């Protein structure tokens, strides 16, 4: 056991493997969100990430496991803004802020939104437990806050589930259906004026519904 150290392989920067995994996840998001799970090939993803197919399979054991890894990452980002709805906030401010963040995500992470959309539309085979467990609980908690505000007369009576779905539907539409929005209006969220219009329109819609305008 003497003489260890000399024969050791070149040591790259620590966490280099982690960076490589991240690169693969980024590339996979790109591709999966454009052509779906079945339309993507490992080869294609590997090429975009700058490594070989075989090498990619060293980091992720199968295409499906890579896909799920990307999905989990996306879901975390996607759920994050909802946490900012707190019982002790001013309802109008909190909702304005939430809507702005959601539209911001549609602008800054449209691929994440699209991948999530593809998975849900196709039945969420690989995400079902996440939806029925953590997501359901989170929505229930936030619905409780909305009901509380309504009971205190701070916002108009309404169905909190439908309200939340409405916010999701409208804000994500500008990412998921960006192709259509652009075909019809010639504009997209990367245009700052269009972004602000979209935020304002959605805020007016929701706050109006709750008697906050």
Partner DNA sequence: GTCTATAGATGGATAGAC
Partner DNA sequence: GTCTATCCATCTATAGAC
- Of residues 73, 101, 154, 173, which one binds its own copies by CB under 8 A? 173
Distance in Å, CB of 20 to DNA, minimum? 6
Q: In the 3-class helix/strand/coil scheme, how is 27-71 assigned residue by residue? A: HHHHHHHHHHHHHCCHHHHHHHHCCCHHHHHHHCCCHHHHHHHHH
DSSP-derived letter for residue 134 is I
Nearer to DNA, 21 or 158 (CB): 21
Q: Of 54-62, 77-85, 137-145, 177-185, which part binds DNA (CB under 7 A)? A: 54-62
Among 1, 7, 8, 184, binds its own copies (CB under 8 A): 184
Pick the stretch among 46-54, 93-101, 143-151, 174-182 that binds DNA (CB under 7 A). Answer: 46-54
Q: Considering only residues 113-172, where is the footprint of its own copies by CB under 8 A?
A: 114, 117-118, 120-124, 128, 131-132, 135-136, 139, 158-159, 161-162, 165-166, 168-170, 172
DSSP string, 144-175: HHHHHHHHTTSS----HHHHHHHHHHHHHHHH
Matching residue, tokens 């982690």 = 18
> 83 to 122, contacts with its own copies by CB under 8 A?
114, 117-118, 120-122
User: For residue 163, what are its two tokens?
Assistant: 């309200």
CA distances from 149 to 88, 116, 136, 159 (A): 10, 30, 20, 12
Residue-wise burial string across 154-188, b where 16 or more C-beta atoms lie within 10 A, e elsewhere: ebeebebeebbebbeebbbbbbbebeebeeeeeeb
- Enter the DSSP assignment of 109: -
Query: Which residue, 52 or 180, is less far from its own copies as judged by CB?
Result: 180
* Number of chain residues interacting with DNA (CB under 7 A): 18
Interface residues with its own copies (CB under 8 A) are: 34-39, 114, 117-118, 120-124, 128, 131-132, 135-136, 139, 158-159, 161-162, 165-166, 168-170, 172-174, 176-177, 179-181, 183-185, 197-198, 201-202, 204-205, 208-209
């Amino acid at each position: 056991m003497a003489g260890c150290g000399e024969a050791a392989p070149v040591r790259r920067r620590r966490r280099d493997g982690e960076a490589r995994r991240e690169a693969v996840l980024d590339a996979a998001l790109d591709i999966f969100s454009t052509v779906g799970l079945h339309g993507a090939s490992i080869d294609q993803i590997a090429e975009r990430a700058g490594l070989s197919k075989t090498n990619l399979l060293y980091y992720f054991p199968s295409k499906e496991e890579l896909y799920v890894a990307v999905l989990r990452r996306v879901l975390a980002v996607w759920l994050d803004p909802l946490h900012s709805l707190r019982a002790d906030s001013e309802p109008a401010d909190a909702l304005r802020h939430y809507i702005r963040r959601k539209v911001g995500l549609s602008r800054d992470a449209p691929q994440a939104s699209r991948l999530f959309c593809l998975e849900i539309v196709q039945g969420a085979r690989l995400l079902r437990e996440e939806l029925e467990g953590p997501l359901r609980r989170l929505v229930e908690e936030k619905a409780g806050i909305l009901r509380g505000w309504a009971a205190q007369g701070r916002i108009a009576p309404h169905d909190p589930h439908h309200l939340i779905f409405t916010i999701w539907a409208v804000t994500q539409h500008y990412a998921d259906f960006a192709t259509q929005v652009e075909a019809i209006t010639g504009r997209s969220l990367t245009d700052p004026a269009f972004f602000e219009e979209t935020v304002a329109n959605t805020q007016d819609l929701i706050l109006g519904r709750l008697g906050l305008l």
